[in-house]
Amino acid sequence: MKTEQPQIIRLEDYREPAYLVENVELVFDLESESTRVVCAATYYANNTDNAPLVLDGEDLKLLHISLDGRELGENDYSCDNKSLTIPDLPERFELVIETEIDPKGNTQLSGLYQSNGTYCTQCEAQGFRRITYFQDRPDVMATYNVTIIADKASCPVLLSNGNLLEHNDVEDDQHIAVWHDPFPKPSYLFALVAGDLAQVSDTFVTCTGRTVDLHIFIEHGNEDRVDWAMESLKAAMKWDEDRFGLEYDLDLYNIVAVSDFNMGAMENKSLNVFNTKYVLAKSDTATDADYAGIEGVIAHEYFHNWTGNRVTCRDWFQLSLKEGLTVFRDQEFSSDMRSRPCERISNVKVLRAAQFPEDAGPLAHPVRPEQYMAIDNFYTATVYNKGSEVIRMMHTLLGEDNFRKGMDLYFERHDGQAVTCDDFAAAMMDASDIDLTQFKLWYSQAGTPEVTAHWSYDHEAQRFDLTLAQHLAPTPGQNDKQPMHMPISVGLLDLEGMEILSDVLSVSKARETFSFENIESEPVISLNRDFSAPIKLKAAYSRVELAFLMANDSDDFARWEAAQTYGTDLLLDMVKAYQKGQPFKKDEDFIQALRQTLLNDQLDLDFIALCLQLPTEGYLAEQMETIDVVAIHQAREALRRYIAEDLQKDFLRIFRDLRSDKPYSPNAASCGQRALKNTCLSYLAEGDDPACLALITAQYHNANNMTDRMAALSILSNKEADARLEALEDFYTRFKDDALVVDKWLSVQAMSSLPGTLATVQNLMSHEAFSIRNPNKVRSLIGVFAHANPLHYHNEDGSGYAFHTDRILELDKINPQIAARMVAPLGKWRRFDKKRQDLMKAELQRIIATDGLSGDTFEMASKSLG
Ligand code: 0A1
Ligand code: ZN
């Protein structure tokens, strides 16, 4: 058993810091294995009387401390591997602390570390304490002055937050740079980068006419891959001015891309550090999805400058204050840059794939959690994506104008402060006069509400009644729940498909009936349009009504949703048939409804492509009480084959029509064209027609962009054919020097449904292309296998679970954050048959019983066991 269990931190225990800090002076003398850090800070008591100062610190070698110029001896303080405590302090004092750290040996990628030789930092949430002793909490805000001394040849670029004050050569081939950030900030927004990097620059002129210098730093040789990131940055800067009146506040904005990074990117003040995945793109190496990801993440980090940096979180329980709001902002930005309905659909797909299962499982927690062991485990889909849905619902309830007034008031009241989710809601309430008291339960109650809808039409009275009943199931630690306040957007369509009315219902009771008067004939109702509330809707639609909504609903989201609901309904019937050994029934009406969608020239191509994609295996699994991965896979494959057979001619014609020799463009229209073309190709591949195989192979070889090449490779990766091995080999040979493309090569193999996939994944672990120290590689191979290959991961012999657990334990010694993030699939054990349950639980027990296990992984594994 693990010796020391990590402590539980509780929101109710929040206390203001004993001391506040005015200014921090940091000096870094950079050496790969022994960097010296001097931190001089001015402290003053925060209404406390003679309290000791407790500074956080982790993996630091303490060299010196001095207080107001007097060197402290060992009797003047106490120190362990978590903290440094100094008693008997004056009201105001200057503390100078010198520490030594080892960036090269820092495999956790938190604090100061090296990625391909470049020094970089990651301080959110608690990395600053791995650099120096400090009150490493977001409500301690200070201005920072940073001096960096480094070897000039290996580190020509020296960066930190704010403005460059000085840059000089010093003796011994060293140089020195001094940076000053005028905006007080918490330690988690501190950043430093030093290395030999190439730079691409541009400018942006703000709405008040100030010119901001924009620089993107990358490894040499990548200069031709940053145009899209730069365009996205400028678009985001402009959008924030136009939509929210928010102007950038410094004259410099730097982005650095590194290949070893625990997450997507980090919003450090004026020095964003990014995972290369969200910066580098050119048409022959990045897919349309990569381009969209870059646009979204670049915008997300930029938007944090106001929602996160200028106004930050009081404590980490408030993480969604900045993350939910910033995700909402980046989703809105992407909706304005490309198709709004498709953006909404893809956001909802992510929510359903990642957040709904979280809310339904042992790791369920509220958007504002009340306790944690390791805060790094709370960068979750609930805090981010459900958090964004909460903001979106406020936006729907208040309307755009009131929401904007609320945002303005929030900044007016809290600029420069560290605040709470309640402060945000108060600004929204005060600006709009709309009561959000009940609504705030979305912050505190975990779980996805289930809303059941019943309706009836009274011909005589010409009235349509809709009854909505909501239920929120218990989640860990929360047994009794109260009804939630939510906006439900509805529409009524007449039998010709014309819209009779649309409305947003403000639902707040456990059961509530809404009546619509003067409805002349029996309508069809469209519910939760645009996914106005993040709920599970149970509505007794007939298949005829679903086909009708697919064909007629004026709300595109609802139209897509009708196709998903119809498909899910069918597939779950097919799963039952498979389990009983009965033959599948083909539903011609569904296929005809899809055909109508496919041939509808009023619809955008990317939207059609989304409608044609059946619910994923993961989504279907979530709808079953006891998940049967084999039956789901067989049913879904069969339905795809039926669709392919009946629509073969249409698919072939459209595929040919949409092929284009034009040079690649990442704009929405071209992406839509490729999405539909490749969806058609994937259906054409369902039969074993050699002519189709030739089409796919030809597309693989002749593609002039990565989207088309990857689409063909993904299809081939599921084919028991020589063409698969040839293409995989060709792909590696072409792209082996390109780390991000090699990630795709690993993922496509880890996702394959072919027998022997686990062995392939195991072999790839020792391939030269793989490194367990690099989070992108780990996510691409092991993460994809465990999360996105249910068929093989859940093999009934338990081999998938054992492999996964071995990797978690291997990684826990190297990078606990990444190890902990991989545990979640095992936590789904309750949803499987007894045999798999036992196997999965045994692996979780094996994790918990491991000596020296990190607190991060312990928290995830112990909670997963329940
Ligand atoms: N604030 C960043 C996400 C982030 C969080 C933690 C990190 O290291 C453990 C890194 C990045 C964002 O929302 O983009
Ligand atoms: Zn964020």
Mean pLDDT in the chain?
98
Q: Which amino acid is at 168?
A: N
CB 559, CB 611: distance < 8 Å: yes
Nearest ligand, CA of residue 110?
Answer: 1
Beta bridge partners of 345: none
Provide the pLDDT for residue 132: 99
User: Are the CB atoms for 196 and 117 separated by under 8 Å?
Assistant: yes
- Whether 793 contacts 752, CB under 8 Å: no
What tokens were used for 102? 């080892």
User: What DSSP element (H or E) covers 64?
Assistant: strand 61-67
Q: At what angle do helices 588-599 and 543-552 cross, to 10 degrees?
A: 0
Ligand 1 centre and the CA of 776: distance in Å?
A: 15
Q: Which of 350, 353, 433 is nearest to 398 (CA)?
A: 433
- Residue whose CA is at the smallest distance from ligand 1 atom 2: 266
What ipTM goes with this model? 0.99
Number of H helices, E strands in the chain: 30, 31
**How is the chain split into domains, by residue range?**
1-196, 200-287, 312-444, 450-533, 736-866
Tell me which residue of 754, 797, 802 sits closest to 782, measured CA to CA: 802
Contact between residue 424 and residue 408 where contact means Cβ atoms under 8 Å apart: no
Residue pair 348/386 in contact (Cβ under 8 Å)? The answer is: no
Residues in the chain: 866
Where do we find the tokens 């290395």? 195
Which residues, by Cβ under 5 Å, contact ligand 2, an ion?
323, 326
Secondary structure letter of residue 367 according to DSSP: S
Active site residue 25: no
According to CATH, the topology of domain 312-444 is Neutral Protease; domain 2 (1.10.390)
Question: Phi and psi of 676, rounded to 5°?
Answer: -70, -40
CATH number of 200-287: 3.30.2010.30
The CATH number fitting domain 736-866, selected from 1.25.50.10, 1.20.58.100, 1.10.3720.10, 1.20.58.710: 1.25.50.10
- Sign of the Cα torsion 665, 666, 668, 673 reads positive
Distances in Å between the Cα of 147 and the Cα atoms of 1, 114, 755, 805 are 45, 18, 56, 43
pLDDT of residue 2: 46
Give every residue of the chain whose pLDDT is below 50, as ranges. 1-2
pLDDT of residue 48: 87
Three-class SS of residue 554? coil
Amino acid, single-letter form, for residue 150: A
What would the pLDDT profile of 103-161 be if each residue is shown by its tens digit? 999 999 999 999 999 999 999 999 999 999 999 999 999 999 999 999 999 999 999 99
Protein residue with its CA nearest to atom 11 in ligand 1: 266
By C-alpha distance, which of 250, 186, 169, 171 is closest to 215?
250
Helices 588-599 and 556-579 pack at an angle, to 10 degrees, of 150
Q: Which of 379, 385, 821 gets mutated to test ligand 1 (max ligand atoms within 8 A of its CB)?
A: 379
CA of 344 to the centre of ligand 1 (A): 23
C-alpha distances (whole Å) from 540 to each of 44, 496, 561 are 63, 21, 14
CATH second-level architecture of 450-533? Sandwich (2.60)
Which residues, judged by CB distance below 6 Å to any ligand atom, belong to the binding site of ligand 1?
A: 122, 124, 262-267, 300-301, 323, 376, 379, 817
End-to-end CA distance of the chain: 17
Quote the ligand 1 centre to 758 CA distance (angstroms): 31
Question: How many Å apart are CA 833 and CA 66, to the nearest integer?
Answer: 62
Task: Provide the β-strand partners of residue 455.
Answer: 466
Distance CA 569, CA 576 (A): 11
The CA-atom distances, in angstroms, between 837 and each of 248, 371, 801, 827 are 52, 27, 11, 10
Give dist(CA 418, CA 135) in Å, integer.
Answer: 14
C-beta of residue 511 within 8 angstroms of C-beta of residue 424: no
- Closest to 442 measured CA to CA, from 455, 427, 424: 424
CA separation for the pair 138, 313 (Å, rounded): 6
CB of 196 within 8 A of CB of 157? yes
Q: Report the pLDDT value the prediction gives residue 1, as an integer from 0 to 100.
A: 42
Phi, psi of 618 (to 5 degrees): -65, -40
For atom 10 of ligand 1, the residue with the nearest CA is 263
Domains 312-444 and 450-533 share a fold: no
**What pLDDT, on a 0 to 100 scale, did the predictor assign at position 687?**
84
Distance separating alpha carbons of residues 44 and 214, to the nearest angstrom: 36
pTM beyond 0.95: the answer is yes
**598, 644 in Cβ contact below 8 A?**
no
Burial class of residue 508, CB neighbours in 10 A (0-12, 13-18, 19+): middle
**157-160 vs 92-101, strand pairing mode:** unpaired
Give nearest CA residue, ligand 1 atom 5.
124
19: CA distance to ligand 2 center in Å? 28
Tell me the C-alpha distance between 173 and 487, whole Å.
64
Residue found under tokens 């409804």: 593
Instruction: Give the CATH number of domain 1-196; options: 2.40.50.100, 1.10.357.10, 3.50.50.60, 2.60.40.1730.
Output: 2.60.40.1730
Nearest ligand to the CA of 298 is 1
Distances (CA, A) of 142 to 251, 412, 606: 20, 20, 47
Q: Write the Ramachandran bin of 149: left for phi over 0, alpha for psi from -120 to 50, otherwise beta.
A: beta
Quote the Cα angle for 610-615-620, to 5°: 165
> Tell me, what's the pLDDT at 405?
98
